[in-house]
Homo-oligomer: A and B are copies of this chain.
Amino acid sequence: MDNDVKEFEEKEIEHEKALEVAIEKQDNEKLKDIVEQMHPIDIAIALEDSDDEDLTYIYSKLNDEQIAEIIEQADEELQIKMITLLEASRAMGVFEYMSKDDIVDILGILPLNKRKELINLMRSGDKKIIQELLGYDERTAGGIMTTEYVAVSDSLTIQQTISKIKELALKTEVIDTIFVVNHKKELIGSVDLRDILVAPYQESLQHIMNENIISVTPETDQEKVSLLVSKYDLRVIPVVNKRNSLLGIITVDDIIDVIVEEYQEDMSHLAGTSVEETIYSPIKDSIKMRLPWLMVNLVTAFLASFTVSMFEGTIDKVTALAAAMPIVAGMGGNAGSQELSIIVRSIALGEASLQENWTLIFKKALLGIINGAIIGLFAGIILYFMYGNIYLGFIIFASMIANLVIAGVVGVLVPLTLKAFKVDPALASAVFVTTATDVLGFFIFLGLATLIIHRLV
């Protein structure tokens, strides 16, 4: 790591400690001074372990805007603690400084009665917006959009637009893109603020606006939104209803959160754990998150075990087969993981679907034959030299080809099928693929051995 960033991080840690000391000693001067210097997210991190007394002290010293910034950045647990401790009337003041989508996110995690209490205290205009936003699934465009945007009428001149922007600037999340609506309030275009700044004052807004805009509806899945934003390098994407009225916007910083969330979810699900687990999770949470997956895999492992036990008679005659079993299972498992990582990523990027990808399965089968033959050749030769039996080499060669074909075909078919049934392919694929490569792999390997048992003993 380079020194500049290291220095910055050291300063951060120093601030955190100073903040803790200021709170402990209730040093008002010091507290205000430190809070001024720190970023809200760092304050939120420092406050994670603080108790009600600490928070009450902080509430008495900070203003509504500062509290709003800290709550916005806090993790869910701290958000619940902070809002619950805040008097309802004060909460209204704090909400004034928060964007509607953040308020909705917080309301969404509160107990129902607390949520209702707060909503009832809101001004009727705000109440309506908040209730509408609460109606959207939190993983859709409606769930992550904000209603703080600048929309101006297409009949304005540049000069009028600039005055309008100045008037709205402080209340919005994004001002570098201005949305343009017609008299029916339909979204008809967008204008880059830089184009407004350099255009002549009397020019009509219509002349410089970009009509070719990409929008989503509130129901659009957040992953889809993130794909559009990253493909077209957008800094903001508008959300419209079926009549093309502008409902809200989604900003790029929320999209980054979505991208990180979706990837972490895929990684965790492929490995059979939960996206909520971190290295800081208490042991009981780790057990709760991992044990179900291990149990499912225990069933899989027993299926493989039953398959092997069917051939105990064969193994009894040729124990070398037992020694070769880890090779069959290991290589099938590895090839399956390779396949899954590629397909799950493709599905996330919207590239792969069951309808379009029948040819893909033949391609993967061919890949399995080639890789299997190469790996099988090496494995077969080594086993031949170990046990001096050419037939043992041959059956490992054949089994390796079969198992890598299975890994490839099942590795494509399972996630695409799960996707078609709207099940998260990352979550459930691994167990099916492992079962297939283990059970079929052992069956083919030990079955072949049983067929030519007289050549092996």
Chain B residues near A286 (CB-CB < 8 A): 367
Alpha-carbon gap, A386 to B69, bound state (A)? 61
Tell me the minimal C-beta distance from A5 to chain B in angstroms: 5
Closest chain B residue, CB of each to CB of A273:
B338
Q: Which of B252, B325, B351 contacts A326 (CB 8 A)?
A: B325
A283 interface residue (CB < 8 Å to B): yes
Residues of chain A from 323 to 346 with CB closer than 8 A to chain B in the complex: 323-327, 329-331, 333-335, 337-338, 340-346
Interface centre among A297, A324, A331, A442 (most CB of B within 10 A): A297
Are B256 and A235 touching (Cβ within 8 A)?
no
Given contacts A198-B169, A286-B367, contact A341 B308 (CB under 8 A): no
Chain B residues near A291 (CB-CB < 8 A): 371, 374-375
A267 interface residue (CB < 8 Å to B): yes
Tell me the minimal C-beta distance from A24 to chain B in angstroms: 24
A11-50 CB mask vs B (1 if < 8 Å, else 0) is 0000000000000000000000000010101000000000
Are A322 and B297 touching (Cβ within 8 A)?
no
Closest chain B residue, CB of each to CB of A306:
B323
Given contacts A252-B256, A315-B319, contact A297 B331 (CB under 8 A): yes
Residues of chain A from 28 to 82 with CB closer than 8 A to chain B in the complex: 37, 39, 41
Chain B residues near A434 (CB-CB < 8 A): 330
A112 interface residue (CB < 8 Å to B): no
Are A166 and B197 touching (Cβ within 8 A)?
yes
Closest chain B residue, CB of each to CB of A376:
B298
Chain B residues near A235 (CB-CB < 8 A): 235, 252-253
Interface centre among A2, A320, A323, A346 (most CB of B within 10 A): A323
Alpha-carbon gap, A287 to B287, bound state (A)? 38
Are B257 and A342 touching (Cβ within 8 A)?
no
Interface secondary structure of A, over-half rule: helix
Are A230 and B257 touching (Cβ within 8 A)?
yes
Alpha-carbon gap, A219 to B337, bound state (A)? 35
Chain B residues near A451 (CB-CB < 8 A): none
Q: Which of B1, B176, B301, B386 contacts A331 (CB 8 A)?
A: B301
A84 interface residue (CB < 8 Å to B): no
A409 interface residue (CB < 8 Å to B): no
- How many A residues touch B, CB cutoff 8 Å? 124
Are A41 and B232 touching (Cβ within 8 A)?
yes
Are B217 and A4 touching (Cβ within 8 A)?
yes
Alpha-carbon gap, A280 to B253, bound state (A)? 31
Given contacts A256-B256, A259-B256, A367-B287, contact A322 B331 (CB under 8 A): no
A271 interface residue (CB < 8 Å to B): yes
Are A294 and B220 touching (Cβ within 8 A)?
no
Q: Which of B172, B197, B255, B257 contacts A165 (CB 8 A)?
A: B197
Alpha-carbon gap, A82 to B308, bound state (A)? 57
A341-379 CB mask vs B (1 if < 8 Å, else 0) is 111111000011000010010010011001100110011
Chain B residues near A209 (CB-CB < 8 A): none
Tell me the minimal C-beta distance from A37 to chain B in angstroms: 7
Chain B residues near A315 (CB-CB < 8 A): 315, 319, 322
Interface segment, A88-96, A103-111, A221-229? A221-229
A205 interface residue (CB < 8 Å to B): no
Are B198 and A267 touching (Cβ within 8 A)?
no
